[in-house]
Amino acid sequence: MKFIESFPIKTDYTVVRSRSPLRISFCGGGTDVPPYPEQFGGCVLSCTIDKYAYVSIRPYVNRQIHVISEDQGLDVHFAPNGGENLEGRLDIAQAIFRRFSTSGLEFHITADAPPGSGLGSSSSMIVALIEALSRENGITLSKYQKAELAFQIERNDLGIVGGMQDQYAAAFGGFNFIEFEKNGVYVTPLRCSTELLSELHYHLLLVYTGNTRLSSNILAEQTANVLHQREKVMDSLAGMKELTHSLKRAFLKGRLLDFGQFLDEAWTLKRNLASAISNAHIEELYDTAKSAGAIGGKILGAGGGGHLLLFAPFNRRAKVRQAMEAAGARIVDFQFEDQGATSWLTTEETWAPAIPTSPPQLSGTERTLVQARS
């Protein structure tokens, strides 16, 4: 996608804020990871939840860039396009800044879930930054353009191995059936009643396993399996595509017990994609949940840790919740959301510290690492 390379400069002190939702992927994850969709086509069924990546922007001095990342424990100044080595801690932000020719801005970024949680937080943060910088520069991007640019930055600019679903989920929001083809990505929002959404929500439990994981290693193994056309992996991916269609039909027709059973079948297939998708801890939690009455579920994202999604009939849900907590897992309360990435302006004056009246003292490389905590 061709992208504008120069932008008007804002001169006021209005604060730009944005947020982009995290997502739950019910089925199809893996069929969106290149090179599979280009060769065979892929699809996912997913929804976004009221957990977000957040960005705030305000003007800064001397054309410097100042980034405060609560999640990484960083408070960093650096020169625009300076190529400073920040040891990988702000690679994503720097890649986006280069795309937007960013300078003279201060960023405050945080998310409701860490990278490796299985909720798509890294891609959601990229979409939130794109949303905020587009608003800052007076640029209007469609939801498709935001998602495509986020994908280009994450996968092409930075070379991070991964799929295509997270960027589109964050940009669009809501319940979506997303198809990945050689010639493009197509998002179909699912029209359903508030009653159906409430009923589905009543059957779901989101469980934090207590561990995060590095998804790129798992996805790199899956990619290699696809490149080598490993029969078990290829059959599993084809089966997951069929189950994704079955899940969509079951959901739209209100057959929620079938929906839960399809989740269980999808998890069985997902385990075949790479060796580290599941582990003893995940299997123990899943077996405990099913013994307590859960019908189905799956680990979210690439696998290996993060969040486990469970489906339980309403009269067994409390027992499953108690079993998960007794096993040391944490239940995460959530609601569905349908907005996708959004931004707004404010003149809020409580941001601390105040905008400095003189430039920060910089080193010869024009970079000062003010604080590094991890």
pLDDT digits (tens, 9 = 90+) for 269-319: 999 998 888 899 999 999 999 999 999 999 998 778 899 999 999 999 999
| Percent of the chain residues past pLDDT 90, beyond the cut | 63
pLDDT digits (tens, 9 = 90+) for 214-270: 666 777 888 888 888 899 999 999 999 999 999 999 999 999 999 999 999 999 999
Q: CA dist 339 to 21, 91, 144, 169, 344, Å?
A: 8, 27, 14, 10, 13
Q: What is the distance between the alpha carbons of residues 180 and 185, in angstroms, rounded to a whole number?
A: 5
Residue 178's SS3 state is strand
- Based on the number of CB atoms within 10 Å of its own CB, is 298 exposed (0-12), middle (13-18) or buried (19 or more)? buried
- Assigned domain for 253 exists: yes
Residue 340's SS3 state is coil
Helix H or strand E encompassing 283: helix 280-291
- At 366 the pLDDT is 32
- Assigned domain for 368 exists: no
What's the whole-number mean pLDDT along residues 182-190? 95
Amino acid code (one letter) for 23: R
- At 283 the pLDDT is 94
What's the whole-number mean pLDDT along residues 330-345? 96
- Assigned domain for 277 exists: yes
Q: The domain spanning residue 41 has which CATH number? A: 3.30.230.120
Q: Is the pLDDT of residue 38 over 60?
A: yes
Catalytic (active site) residue 338? no
- Assigned domain for 5 exists: no
What's the whole-number mean pLDDT along residues 76-89? 67
- Assigned domain for 90 exists: yes
- Based on the number of CB atoms within 10 Å of its own CB, is 350 exposed (0-12), middle (13-18) or buried (19 or more)? exposed
Q: How confident is the model at residue 5 (pLDDT cuts 50, 70, 90)?
A: very low
255 vs 75, higher pLDDT: 255
Do the Cβ atoms of 243 and 269 come closer than 8 Å? Answer: yes
Tell me which residue range forms the domain holding 156: 15-343
Options 50, 91, 112, 166, the catalytic residue: 166
- At 3 the pLDDT is 44
β-bridge pairing 65-69 and 175-181: unpaired
- Based on the number of CB atoms within 10 Å of its own CB, is 240 exposed (0-12), middle (13-18) or buried (19 or more)? buried
Average pLDDT, the chain: 86
- Based on the number of CB atoms within 10 Å of its own CB, is 308 exposed (0-12), middle (13-18) or buried (19 or more)? buried
Quote the number of domains for the chain.
1
Residues 6+ away with beta carbon under 8 Å from 171: 20, 127, 143, 144, 146, 147, 150, 340, 341
214 vs 92, higher pLDDT: 92
Residues 6+ away with beta carbon under 8 Å from 150: 123, 126, 127, 130, 167, 170, 171
Do the Cβ atoms of 132 and 343 come closer than 8 Å? Answer: yes
Q: Is the pLDDT of residue 8 over 60?
A: no
Q: Is the pLDDT of residue 210 over 70?
A: yes
pTM score: 0.87
Q: Is the pLDDT of residue 201 over 60?
A: yes
- Assigned domain for 42 exists: yes
β-bridge pairing 175-181 and 184-189: antiparallel
- Assigned domain for 6 exists: no
- Assigned domain for 186 exists: yes
